[in-house]
Structure 1
């Protein structure tokens, strides 16, 4: 598509005002020109609107067939510059639908995709090979609301439109133990590459919100993710056996971990053997009273390595960057780098556990011990904290290479601030004084953070444009 025309000074003022008013990131609207610019990994030659395929945005009519029909038709352009499907203003009720290659799904700011609560609109899919069973129930699982597998070059973005998972139906079934299949996720892409998910508001997912799995070259940015803090398993963003992933500028309120990095469960994850690696997380804000801002695991049996997290904020959150593993997981969590955490109202600042013992079935190997090493935290300020740290390795399999530096924690009156077993490491300039297993270096040190770049950091988004669409 051609770029939008150059704007006059008066229109530029209107554009700036509109962007500031709506709090958008990277989206420009030329008022009066019916033109919108947005950042994406790829621009598309062809475009269409959901109403072209029979879509009805009244919040009551099912649009499952309209989405499926639209994407099926637009898939024919995948080898001719790709296609973009616009979801215009309205409330678009739908069940699960699949994406296609070289495709962009774009939501207008007054558009809301509503997930159907009719189970007949949710096809079933096989359990994930690295998990061996569904998480809620051992057999199959419901397909995600927005789903895709074996895809290349897919963008899910918008002018901060909304996707509403209407999760209360599913949460109620979960609490009543009525699920025969695992709940759907909101967005899931499998065995895919060159994926962008950005500039959207996601609310009330039935379970996890964003789940890229067995995929690479992923950019997730500018998401607002909201779920009640007592909703079950509403993790925000879960890269799972993924490589080269960039997560930035997201705000998450969740009933579970805001971000959880995973790579398969016990013997199934060990056999599948696909790690999560080369992941960068930055400028994250999290609220999760019962879970972590960032969790590594607990399903990590394919391995997790080279995770870099910086400029992190958590408020009223149980823990900051937490490692969760257990006997039977095998594999490793290594080369983890965290710097710049601002924390307020936390139960734990540092939390690692080797006894997170949920297993898919009795077939796990009790000799499969995880290797946890090279864990680095620096530049942390925390206020209103109950405990500074709970660090529990595994007997005869200690967590090693832990480095913590330049940390100030304002805690409550709990006498034992650092509870440490089966760990090894060092600290520098840390208050309150750490446990004996983390002795303080006499000379000041700074825990490492890599200077090189993860490859996905070098990916520059293009400026794409939408023009002459009457709903602007």
Structure 2
């Protein structure tokens, strides 16, 4: 009887939780593959174990959803790892689980389905109130998503996720949606997140969107989208605390990184800021938008953002602050240094009149605070206009500091290089000469340097473990 029971349990384990050795993908295909991760997993499987077919035509939505459903039972027993091997794996939306790793192998591409029935409809985000595309009826769930998760890793050895965005872009342009387009990766109310070492292509809208999350690492990501398609933002940390974005290469038709925290009265009520954010070693190409945007949805507040070692090529602006009356909250304690820029429309751009609102319910008296904004050690070549800095009447942007910046103009620059209204601050060693609202300052006869914090945010001290397939 004991042997019989043991045999049944073994068979149950084999069929319920197959390992990567159980199907046609031989273990030797994975030998020698190591990768850094927050945590390694005890249990391992391949998408083919759940009926996956990597021919680029067969829908794998059921396979991914079945895999995640079954592997979620292993979260409390060392966690699970799902490998997507070489091939083209067509799928609709699926949700991740805690203590889980999704590994996309080199030569593997997850293809986003263009069948809308494979994308569940979910409610608008509470800090936005309405769909981001301007509707209040809801939004398509993201391709890869999850809510209330802990310890999630999405990684690979340069595997690919292709959002096949053309279908969504065409319908959006023709105003044929009453739902907000899906994002590629979105995790909500989650903690201890890692997204690394994969390539993301052509998302229907934003590519990576952690929202209401803590302890997030986005590392060594390549994002490619057409430069003429709007809303294909690269990485959008939204109402998140303790986030590190590093070593990323982004080509986009919108902001390479957009820092957000909710929209007007909905964001004010929800009240969750983005704070403790470090962005470093970013390369960005975005002719129609910013390298790093702060806003425009910032009604929960944005503070303590450090941005350094950034290369911008053919990009509309470097760090852009976008806000408006009705947003409320603040953008403050922003530090940016060591930027190299080539072919820019603007170097510095701040807009207090970014008047896109979810509805008529916003309070025009809810004025944002923009203060303690620091830029230092930057060079820019082939620039059309050095700065457009526009605060809000009776609500000026204050504490602006710009030091050691050398800007070389294009062959046909704007006649006015510094256009400043409703701003206040100081500069040091900046060429061309700034506007009178940002006068030159020296301390005891010495050149002034703008501040950059010497401490680290906690996520910068995290050491990843060495894991294997």
TM-score (norm 2): 0.92
Aligned to 2:436: 436
CA–CA separation in structure 2 for the residues paired with 1:350 and 1:35: 47
Q: Deviations over 1:115-162 (max 9, x none)?
A: 000000000100000000001122100000001000000000001000
Change (3 A) 1:386 1:311: same
- Tell me what 1:22 maps to: none
Deviation at 1:32, TM superposition (A): 8.7
Q: Helix, strand or coil: the match of 2:416?
A: coil
CA distance in 2, matches of 1:114, 1:76: 26
Note the C-alpha offset of 1:415. Answer: 2.3
Aligned to 2:276: 278
CA shift, 1:31, in A, is 9.0
Give distance in 2, aligned partners of 1:34 and 1:465.
8
* TM alignment of 1:357-396, pairs within 5 A: 357-396=355-394
1:3 maps to none
Distance across 1 between alignment mates of 2:263 and 2:72: 34
* Aligned counterpart, 1:417: 417
- CA distance, structure 2, for counterparts of residue 78 and residue 135 of structure 1: 33
- 1:34 shift after superposition: 1.8
> Within the alignment, does 1:268 sit opposite 2:266 as a pair?
yes
- 1:94 paired residue number: 91
2:405 to 407, 420, 425: 407
In structure 2, relative to structure 1, the CA distance for the partners of 1:104 and 1:406 (3 Å cut) is: same
| Alignment pair present for 1:298 and 2:296 | yes
Q: Please show how residues 12-411 of structure 1 align to structure 2 within 5 Å.
A: 34-136=31-133, 137-411=135-409
Distance 1:416 1:193, change over 3 A: same
* TM-fit CA distance, 1:36: 1.1
SS at the partner of 2:186?
Answer: strand
Using the alignment, how far apart are the partners of 2:65 and 2:30 within structure 1?
A: 31
2:33 counterpart SS class:
strand
Name 2:19's counterpart in structure 1.
Answer: none
Name the residue aligned to 1:469: none
Q: 1:46 to 1:357 in 2, by over 3 A?
A: same
Within the candidate set 434, 448, 462, 1:459 is matched to 462
Report SS of the residue matched to 1:35: coil
1:366 aligned counterpart, secondary structure: coil
**Which stretch shows the higher mean deviation, 44-53 or 408-417?**
408-417
Shift of 1:232: 2.0
Residue 27 of structure 1 corresponds to none
Structure 1 stretches of 5 or more lacking a match?
Answer: 1-29, 467-472
Partner of 2:426: 426
What secondary structure, in the 3-state scheme, does the structure 1 residue paired with 2:380 have?
A: strand
Measured after TM superposition, the shift of residue 33 of structure 1 is 8.1
Residue 231 of structure 1 deviates from its aligned partner by 1.2
Select 2:449's aligned residue among 446, 449, 469.
446
State the Cα deviation string for residues 268-301 of structure 1 (Å, max 9, x = none): 0000000000000000000000000000000000
Q: 1:32 to 1:71 in 2, by over 3 A?
A: closer
Number of aligned residue pairs: 437
Q: 2: CA distance between counterparts of 1:212 and 1:174?
A: 23
Q: Partner residue of 1:11?
A: none
Structure 1 vs Structure 2 CA RMSD: 1.1
Q: Write the distance in 1 (CA, Å) between the matches of 2:167 and 2:112.
A: 11
TM-score w.r.t. the length of structure 1 is 0.92
CA distance in 1, matches of 2:376, 2:230: 32
Q: Give the 4+ runs in structure 1 shifted more than 6 A.
A: 30-33
Distance in structure 1 (CA, Å) of the matches to 2:400 and 2:73: 52
Offset at 1:209? Answer: 0.2
> How far off is 1:39 after superposition?
0.2
Q: Please say which of residues 299-308 and 68-77 is displaced more in the overlay.
A: 68-77
- Which residue number in structure 1 is paired with residue 23 of structure 2? none
Superposed CA deviations along residues 65-87 of structure 1, whole A, max 9, x for unmatched, are 00000111111110010000000
Q: Measured at CA, do residues 323 and 32 of structure 1 come closer, stay the same or move farther in structure 2, by a change above 3 Å?
A: closer
Measure the CA separation in 1 of the matches of 2:246 and 2:345. Answer: 25
